[in-house]
Structure 1
Amino acid sequence: MNAHPRILVVDDDPSVRSMLREYLQGHGFDIAEAGNGAQMREEIGRQPPAAVLLDIRLPGEDGLVLARYLREHHDVAVIMVTASGDVVDRIVGLELGADDYIAKPFDLRELLARLRSVLRRHQGPAPQAGASAPTSTRKPFGRCEVDLDARRMFDAGGAEVALTAMEYELLAAFLANPNRVLTRDQLLLKTRNREWEPFDRSIDIRIGRLRRKIEPEPDGDPRCIRTVRNAGYMFVPLK
């Protein structure tokens, strides 16, 4: 992780931006601010951030529209900031590829922990000084191949398939545990360092996104990532 990662706070409330700027700067981050979508694009054009804290309730283009734009155009971690009761918005945000979400009013310590966790997942481990470049290691995963060294995935034709940080961590967890049932709690601990909560659908949503990318028949019954009723999910390598 960079010594001073740049974080872009997108919120139309100046008091919220000021609070986050003061708190996150005190923990070693460089902070940029935007009050709407146009300002967000301007800031990203000036200097791409490592992560975006993106409020859903914005004037003009809302956070969901901007989340889609970020995922399609920029390799940046995205944390959605939602109202406490906006479960549907959280689900849609995750479907659009957000790396995590946090609900207002939030504890600043929890926000900091989630931000650091997302950055670790998104950027991957730093190379050791003096170490030689690792040999690319690709492993089959459904109809795709995963390059574990580069944290990238490719389809059968060699084209890269976009992955969010959490999707990659799910792939890595499944590849490390073939033919073994992993509970939602285990998957959350492996990918977000927290325990599963009742009605937390983030793992199910990410599994659905992965299936559309890697299953031989995306519209058919899952063959690669199988649901084990009342237990969790299991990765079954294709023969």
Structure 2
Amino acid sequence: MKLLLVEDDDHVSAALSAVLRRHGFDVGTARGGEEALQELLHGRLAPFDVVLLDLGLPDQDGFEVCGRIRKLTSTPVIMVTARADVRSRIHGLNLGADDYVVKPYDTGELLARIHAVARRTSAEAEPDGRSPADTYESLRLGPLTLQIPTRRVLVNGEEVALTRKEFDLLALLAHRPGVVFRREQIISEVWRTSWEGTGRTLEVHVASLRSKLRMPELIETVRGVGYRLVAPPPAV
């Protein structure tokens, strides 16, 4: 697996690169955002499978780099950073990051997350592979409309931009409003993995949906079980 490590601390980069290579990764490195973008451009003939992106880069903020990467390629991006606040997690995922790992981290966990996002991307690239949302008809719940074929979401007729996983999560819950989906079921169907570490990512995506749709009561947390969508009243 070919991996691009974007990290400006030479000691951290050297140590992590050595670990990754011992586990069979072909590792390329970049010390800043512009260098990372050039590596991705030049690697198109043999593209990278995953990007590990530090946020504290010397030439530009990692969030900006992630946004530019996402315009350039669909290569999975894992943000690896000391910024542990939920707002930063949500912002990173909204920009298109596939996962978010907070320093200091366990190396085994990081390796598991790398393999997890690579597996998900590989499954989604299969010719007949479909996301959970693709199996549903278009849905309308009060002021909320999901146009499944075009993957668009509208609230009171105004489009709301969602990430791929946010849309899949919302579509899964909206297909059966009022029904409680277990966390394990959601993670299996939306993230296509059974790894428990995805649970935190699920929480962040739920928080992001509540914020973007401006309907915090739409997705209800069922403590100890999972989540359900509470059908909103009809639009006035």
- When normalised by structure 1's length, the TM-score is 0.68
Quote the sequence identity (%). 33
Secondary structure in 2 matching 1:139: coil
The residue number in structure 1 matching 2:49 is 50
2-structure distance, mates of 1:116, 1:24: 12
What is the aligned-residue RMSD (CA, Å)?
Answer: 3.9
Distance 1:78 1:168, change over 3 A: farther
Number of residue pairs aligned between Structure 1 and Structure 2: 216
User: How big is the shift at 1:19?
Assistant: 2.6
Q: For residue 77 of structure 1, what is the aligned residue in structure 2?
A: 76
Deviation at 1:66, TM superposition (A): 1.2
Partner of 1:120: 119
**Counterpart contact for 1:25–1:31, Cα < 8 Å:** yes
Instruction: Determine whether 1:233 maps to 2:227.
Output: yes
Report the CA distance between 1:100 and its aligned residue: 1.0
- Which residue of 194, 197, 217 maps to 2:196? 194
Q: Is the 8 A contact 1:179 1:235 kept in 2?
A: yes
Partner of 2:205: 206
Q: Secondary structure of the equivalent of 1:60?
A: coil
CA change 1:139–1:15 in 2 (3 A) is: farther
Distance 2:221 2:86 in 1: 25
* Alpha carbons of structure 1 residues 208 and 72: separation in structure 2 relative to 1, 3 Å: farther
Secondary structure in structure 2 of the residue aligned to 1:233? strand
CA distance in 2, matches of 1:22, 1:101: 21
Which whole-Å CA distance do the structure 1 matches of 2:124 and 2:71 have between them? 24
User: Does structure 1 retain, via aligned residues, the 8 Å contact 2:53–2:79?
Assistant: yes
When residues 46 and 204 of structure 1 are mapped into structure 2, their CA distance, relative to the original with a 3 A threshold, is same
Counterpart position of 2:158: none
**1 CA distance for matches of 2:172 and 2:68?**
28
More helix by share: 2
Report the alpha carbon displacement of residue 177 of structure 1 after superposing the two structures with TM.
Answer: 5.8
Structure 1 residue 92: deviation in Å?
A: 2.5
Q: Which amino acid aligns with 1:72?
A: K
Q: Could you list the runs of 4 or more consecutive aligned residues of structure 1 that deviate by over 6 angstroms after TM superposition?
A: 236-239
Taking the aligned partners of 2:129 and 2:7, their CA distance within structure 1 comes to 40
Counterpart amino acid of residue 23 in structure 1? V
* Residues 1:91 and 1:17: Cα distance change in structure 2 (over 3 Å): same
Once the two structures are TM-superposed, the CA of residue 27 in structure 1 deviates from its matched residue by 2.9
| SS of alignment partner, residue 28 of structure 2 | strand
Give TM-score, length-normalised by structure 2. 0.69
Which is further off, 227-236 or 65-74?
227-236
Verify the 8 A CA contact 2:136 2:175 in the aligned structure 1. Answer: no
Name the structure 2 match of 1:36. Answer: 32
